[in-house]
Structure formats: C-alpha cells, structure tokens
Amino acid sequence: MTHASTPLRPSGVATPALNALLARERERYTQRNPRSQVQATRAGAHLMFGVPLHWMNDWGTPFALQVAGAQGARLTDLDGHRLADFCLGDTGAMFGHSPRVVTEALQRQAALGLTTMLPNEDGSVVSELLAQRFGLPQWQFAMTATDANRFVLRWIRAATRRSVLLVFNGCYHGTVSDVFVDLVDGKPVQRDSLLGQVHDLTATTRVVEFNDLQALEAALAPGDVACVLAEPVMTNIGMVLPQEGFWQKAQALIQKHGAMLVMDETHTISSGPGGYARAHGLSPDAVVVGKPLGGGMPCAAYGFTAELAARAVQAKRLAPPGHSGVGTTLTANLLAMAAMRATLSQLMTEETFAPMHALAGTLAEGLRRVIAQHRMPWCVTQVGARVEFQFCPAAPRNGTEAGNAMDAELEHAIHLYLLNRKVLITPFHNMMLICPDTTAHDVQRLLQGLEAFLLECRDGMQ
Ligand SMILES: Cc1ncc(COP(=O)(O)O)c(C=O)c1O
C-alpha cells in the first residue's frame, strides 16, 4: 500500500520509490563496471560526447557500457559480464550477433574486393530474393533505412509530381527530416529538437493520427499528397497496432486520391521473412527494409511495384542529366551485397522465424503474468519476434496515446535494473527482440528481473 501523501505516477509507481531505486542502481552500475568507466573516460578526450554517436549516451547509464564482443544473443561487456541481449543493436542484429553464414560470406567477399561501384552476381540474386519475399518486382539499395526512406521520397515525389508527404503522429523513419512534424493540439508542429533545421517542414509534411481514417481522408483530399509513409505497426513511440481493417480502408483512400503507400518494414520485419505487409496480406506500392537485412552490416533496400518503378524510371529519363539526389558512393558495395545474399538466403526464412515467434509469445505471456500479479496498469504488445510493454492499461490506438503512456524515468530505472542483472533491453522505450539464439532461460532471466524490480518498487512504496 502507498502512503496517502505519495501519489502514484500514471505509470503506477511512486516517485520517491523510483528515485531511490534509480540512485541505488546507478551506484551499482558504477561499482560493477570499472573497466567501462576507465574506457569511457579515455574516450571523452577526443570523441564529442565521449561516444562515437551521441545517442550512445541515451541508455540512462552513468557512463557508456563498453563492448568487448557480441555473439548470438550474448553481449560481453568490458568488465566480463555476459548479458542476455534483447536490444540486438535495436534490430540490426535481429538474426543474432555475427551470424556464422554472414561472417563466412563476408570473409569470402573480403578477399575479392570490398567496394567497386560496379555490380556482381549478388545484385541479381539479392533482388530475386527480395522480390520473392516481399512480392514487389523492382529493387534498389541504400546503406541505411534512413537513406532508403529518403530516396523513396525523392523517387515518389518525382514520379507523382506531387510534393506533400503524409505521416502518422509519433512516427520515426530514421533521421529523414521530412517526417519530424508532430500533431500538437491538432496542429502540425515541426519538432524543435531538430538541429540545424532551416526549412519549414510543415509546408510539405502533413500529419494525422494513426487509425484515424477520417483525418487521413481529409489530409488526402487536396490531391497533393505524393505518398503516405508509415510503419504497418507503429514501433517507435512504443507500439501501436492497426485496428482491424484499418490498412485495407486506408489503402483504398490513398489509391482514391492518387497517392502511394510506402510501408517502412525496418522494425516490423520481425513479423516474418516478407515483413508485416506480406504476413497480413497488404500490398503497398513501396516497401523499405533496413537494419537486419545484412545480418548487422549496414545495408538497406527498397522495392516498388512495376507501375511505380516505371513511373520512377520515366521521371529519371525526363530529368536533365546530372545529380539525381539518390544514392551514396558505397551503396550496394560488394561486402554489403554479400551480407544481404547470405542473410536473405539463409536467415530470413520461415524456418528461422518460427521459433523466434514462439519464444516471443512466451515472453509476452510471461510479461502479462508478471504485470497482472503486481496489478500494474501496463499492457504488452507482440509483433512477431518483437515484444513491448507500455505503461498504460490498454493498447494505445495512436501516437498521442502511446506518447502519453511513456515515463522516461521509470524506463531508465527498469533498464538499468535489468542491465545490472545481466539483461539488456532497448533504450528509448521498452522493446525486446528475440533472435534465433535467444534461449528460454534468457527469457526467464528477463521476467525474473522485471518481477524483482516490481517487488522492490512496491516495497519502496510501503
Ligand atoms: C521504422 C524505422 N525506419 C527507419 C529507421 C532508420 O534506420 P537507420 O537508423 O538504420 O537508418 C528506423 C530506426 O530505428 C526505424 O525504426
């Protein structure tokens, strides 16, 4: 029972108990990771922010955990702790760290050239496999999902001769500037955290709530929308599932108003080898895949229907000679193509996904049990191999509801508590991913960690 004087946060925990736990776990982290601390201090000399990418400070740890190695579902830190990794590089390592088939392919290719700005046989094979998996006939590549999204927007704006992009509130599609427009009190507002943003994004980006067909139709009605760029399930503001029939009706509206539907499957590829769209019988005009596509190597791809591809090719033919604004020098390099060939042919298969989905189901059920036992107002959502718990009693229906359910301090406390007990989950929200090497024991360890956290939190509230 809580003291009458200690109100609970909407997430169901009391602030004093949370703060005390967080302070203790930060201290414990520092004690447990002396080598990481030395290395992090050294890195501070010449790395801005002390890390190679400033996001690496966003884990809520007193200093960045330093990696000694990663293999399968394990990440070993510099102080020798072997962590059960449910973050998996935020999906880059969804098929496990350093999968053998990929490292062997990389070794073979490394002796035969790394990058040439010319194709080899892998290009044909990879595009055939992508066409098979995703049901779209025409493909191009990028180094990151961010770039793939950026390039798709360019192609579709050129092909449709329309300028407006339509996205869902709370979306994330990488660091593509165009998408950073939020709905605030029903009005589009450019995100003010963006650095160096000099263009008014609201001029060409429209934003509506997910699952809101009326708002979608109103935003499409002017007839200037080039495409709707969306994850089939929102996964970056916590998870938001599409309501029954939403996508069928949304796509009919999108078609009616002459726009294209682009599905960004970078995270929802956790649904199976053809992503969420294939698993649920959806047929977007374009698909983007990144992160795990090269088994952890930087590469991404985007596919078009024959009709959209023909329009994109025509736009290129009609454009004056010169830079298209699509592509980067190392895109589709030989190493990346070899990695994608190995991943697509040997890892991105039904056989690989089936046990991942089953274990994710066990995790989701276990989380629901722990949450129910402790009467927390939280819910759990599973999308294939991906599981998320959110601090709201019912699954959110849109980005605003999902955003309102977030509690950054509570998230930090849970993540740090688990990390101190050798379980790693994704920062920014409560996402857990199962890879082929994750064991039932790893799942139990995670569940026991969360249970212990909730017990201590409750004790602190008494
Ligand atoms: C749905 C989605 N699309 C694109 C991206 C961008 O991927 P990357 O950072 O690898 O470019 C992300 C990253 O989290 C994502 O979640």
Q: Which of 88, 94, 146 best tests ligand 1's pocket when mutated (most atoms within 8 Å of CB)? A: 146
Give CA–CA dist 82/254, Å, rounded: 48
Ligand 1 atom nearest residue 147's Cα: 11
Is residue 250 predicted with pLDDT exceeding 70? yes
pLDDT for residue 5: 58
182-237: per-residue pLDDT in tens? Answer: 999 999 999 999 999 999 999 999 999 999 999 999 999 999 999 999 999 999 99
Give CA–CA dist 325/154, Å, rounded: 8
Give CA–CA dist 296/294, Å, rounded: 5
pLDDT for residue 411: 96
Is the CB of 231 inside a 6 Å radius of any atom of ligand 1?
A: yes
Is the CB of 290 inside a 6 Å radius of any atom of ligand 1?
A: yes
420 DSSP assignment: T
Q: Which residue minimizes the CA distance to atom 6 of ligand 1?
A: 174
Ligand 1 centroid, distance to 142 Cα (angstroms): 12
Contact present, 453 and 373 (Cβ < 8 Å): no
Is the CB of 266 inside a 6 Å radius of any atom of ligand 1?
A: yes
Strands annotated E in 108-265: 138-142, 164-168, 181-184, 187-190, 205-208, 225-230, 260-264
Q: What DSSP string runs through 347-379?
A: TSSHHHHHHHHHHHHHHHHHHHHHHHHTT-S-E
299-321: per-residue pLDDT in tens? Answer: 999 999 999 999 999 999 999 99
Is the CB of 270 inside a 6 Å radius of any atom of ligand 1?
A: no
Q: What is the mean pLDDT of the chain?
A: 96
Ligand 1 centroid, distance to 12 Cα (angstroms): 31
Is residue 1 predicted with pLDDT exceeding 50? no
Please report, for residues 72, 189, 315, 358, 370, the alpha-carbon distance to residue 93 in angstroms, rounded to integers and kept in the order given: 9, 34, 36, 18, 27
Is residue 462 predicted with pLDDT exceeding 80? no
4-31: per-residue pLDDT in tens? Answer: 557 899 999 999 999 999 999 999 999 9
pLDDT for residue 147: 98
Give CA–CA dist 168/322, Å, rounded: 34
346-357: per-residue pLDDT in tens? Answer: 999 999 999 999
- What is the pTM for the complete model shown? 0.97
pLDDT for residue 7: 85
Task: Give the pLDDT band (50/70/90) at residue 428.
Answer: confident
Give CA–CA dist 300/321, Å, rounded: 26
Count of CA atoms in the C-beta half-sphere (13 A) of 370 = 21
Summarize the confidence of residues 141-165 as an average pLDDT: 98
